[in-house]
Chain A
Amino acid sequence: MSFILRRISTTKTGKQIVRDQPLPGASITLGRDGGNTIHVADLAVNPQHATISSADGRHVRVQASEGLGFDLNGRTLDTADIDSAAGAELRFGGHRLTIAREGENIILLVERIDELSQSSKDVDEARAFSLAAVMPGRRMGAWAFALVVLLAFLVGPIWAWHSYRGVDVRPQGYHADKAWLSGPLSSAHASLKNDCQACHVDAFVAVTDKACVGCHTGEHKAMSASHADASTAMLLAARHPPGVGEKVLAGFAKAFNKPQGRCVECHTEHEGAGPMPPTPQKFCADCHDGMAARLKAAGFKVDVADAGDFGTAHPEFRPLVRARRAPNRRARCPARGHWSIMTA
């Protein structure tokens, strides 16, 4: 028997050339040093790395000499006994030593299997030089962000609304639809800030007067019989002719199911903490300036004089005697519902 060292080289055209070289003796050495029987030019191999011997011409003993062992079947070993008929693959640094048997001979095949260095590995130029190589994909990020936002700010709030449908008072705690709050509630309504549904009862249905009078039972009536008793049609007819902008807004309102003439149109909410903004004087004049003619045109009975401004264009106060409140004689602005005590 003898050991045969087999080397396989590949030509430029891809052809493989096999060269066999008989090795003398029953014991041979392997290492990076030029003096070894098998010289492996690999920095990861020690100068004197291992001895390979066979006592019976069939079984091979591999013995590592200098600390660094070799790998066999995924384990790092210092010594291994191998039946050459069964064969084995050993790893020294970046090289592979294959032991096999052909006829009476033990074949030792040595090949480099690792690249000489990391840098010599093939790279995908477009990717390797780009930031994409070290970043998670933008597409992933895009979907992840979008999903989180949709869950937190769309699904969550709708879920909160859905879970408390028909519930009179919501429990304390965070409700996801708070994220929809478009501005702080007025101080009078501050206690409702956790309970959007107190006013926004049905989805896609604009806040109705029903929600207001649910709590504000009767106030309006006491303050201004004319507004509370007036039909919505009359209130709408009283308004000044719309400008371009208001026509646009009315178009929106109509298209998106937002009825006109509701309480909240004058009593605006979400305008900031503090008292609810007074409906500005201009709002009164919006209707009361030239209102009589418009109401008449719309076929309503008119008993209110025009008022363009509370200070400068307001009709005289007229005494109003109320039978049931006989002791008090009050003068009343019939338009605004303001009472002022007359010292008659």
Chain B
Amino acid sequence: MASLFPRRLLGRRNRATQTERVRERKHEGFLRYANFRWAKISGGLCLLVITSYALIDVTPRANGGSWYGYTLGTIGAGLILWLTALGYRKRKMTRDAWSLKAWTSAHVYLGLSLVVIGTWHTGFQLGWNVHTLAWALMMLVILSGLYGVIVYATLPAALSNNRDEMTQMQMLEAIRAFDRQLHAAAQPLSPEDTAPVLASLDEDPFAGGIRARLTGRYPKDATAAALRALSLAHGGNADARQKVIGLLSQKEAALARLRAHLRIRAMLEIWLYVHVPLTFALIAALSAHIISVFFYW
């Protein structure tokens, strides 16, 4: 299954770690697919639109309601629906001529050509109305797609560096091991000293919202707080405390690795939260746009 997409690969629980490696090797596949076939087709289409627009003199003023505008609009709407079909297509992969790679390659390049088709369809008449809303949503979907392709091409290397041959479950396992050792090592501590250790044990390594995931910053991190508290503590069993401090800083390092991993994965995934919902908003706006034109014909 020489597949290309991180998201697909990451999605399957049992294959997740094994396929993480595949992702890092294959991420470029769909861009160069068939010697840039779809890049050429899409580029040619754009060129055709731009030159014909310049040559054809639509009266009194270029807009979506001219015959030329209708043509571009029909092609554009058709393309948008077809691009959306990728979402469904992805879920039932086949190995025929229309492999996932071909499909994605076409999706990316034809999607980009919509910048020209959609914008030239407007005849550069934009305003605060449903027609421009559809155009703006289309542009946002395309921009988010562009971001997606860029991170797919650049971030997997960072992911691999951070992982350092560990799987993500091994990263979690390391934290679990430190927790067990901390729990044992902290038994002789006084109640005041155990409280911060307990807070560190009680902290979910996956806690933190979308902000924390994307920035990798966890200001209320209980393990860092425990380290600070125990470093300042006096009295009680100093030897045991020293051992706990050592374990806490090791746990902190393991947490940092896991959080860096979560951050890169978040950046690899965030764009889909724009791309997919805005696609549906786009289809809604597009429907309103088309219906409105015929409604107030």
Contact = CB atoms under 8 A, between A and B. Distances in A.
Interface of A: 32, 41, 43-44, 46-47, 66-68, 116-121, 123-126, 128-135, 138, 141-150, 153-154, 157-158, 161, 177-184, 196, 200, 203-207, 245-246, 248-249, 252, 256-258, 268, 271-272, 277, 279-280, 282-283
Contacts of A149: 133, 281, 284-285, 288
B277 A46 contact: no
Contact of B262 (A43, A129, A245): A129
Contacts, number: 202
A158 B295 contact: yes
B10 interface: yes
B283 interface: yes
A268 B123 CA distance: 16
Given A119-B204, A130-B10, A161 B295 contact: yes
Contacts of B190: 47
Nearest to B74: A252
Contact of B187 (A43, A182, A256): A43
A32 B240 CA distance: 15
A224 to B, nearest CB: 20
A119 B280 contact: no
Contacts of A204: 294-295, 297
A135 B297 contact: no
A268 B16 CA distance: 60
A1 B5 CA distance: 69
Nearest to A132: B269
Task: Name B's interface SS.
Answer: helix
A249 B169 CA distance: 61
Contacts of A132: 269
26 contacts: A43-B187, A43-B189, A44-B198, A66-B191, A68-B191, A116-B180, A117-B180, A119-B201, A129-B16, A129-B262, A131-B266, A134-B208, A134-B213, A138-B272, A146-B281, A146-B283, A150-B284, A150-B288, A153-B285, A153-B288, A157-B295, A182-B131, A252-B70, A272-B61, A277-B60, A280-B59
Given A41-B187, A161-B295, A126 B203 contact: no
A142 B187 CA distance: 51
Given A153-B285, A200-B296, 8 more contacts: A120-B180, A129-B206, A131-B210, A134-B210, A142-B276, A145-B281, A200-B297, A283-B60
**Among A47, A119, A145, which residue has the most Cβ atoms of chain B within 10 A?**
A119
A46 B191 contact: yes
A154 B261 CA distance: 43
Interface string B270-297: 1011001111110111011001111111
A47 B197 CA distance: 15
A149 B213 CA distance: 30
Contacts of A184: 127
Given A129-B261, A249-B66, A157 B59 contact: no
B279 to A, nearest CB: 7
Given A126-B11, A131-B213, A153-B130, A146 B280 contact: yes
B277 A280 contact: no
Contact of B60 (A117, A142, A157, A268): A268
A118 B273 contact: no
B186 interface: yes
A158 B288 CA distance: 10
B71 A138 contact: no
B67 A125 contact: no
Contacts of B292: 153-154, 157, 180
A131 B176 CA distance: 21
Contacts of A196: 296
Given A142-B276, A257-B297, A118 B201 contact: yes
Interface in B161-207: 168-169, 172, 175-176, 179-180, 182-184, 186-187, 189-191, 194, 197-198, 201-206
Contacts of B272: 138
Given A204-B294, A246-B67, A142 B280 contact: yes
Interface in B237-279: 261-262, 265-266, 269-270, 272-273, 276-279
B179 A117 contact: yes
B205 A118 contact: yes
Contact of A43 (B56, B201, B204, B276): B201
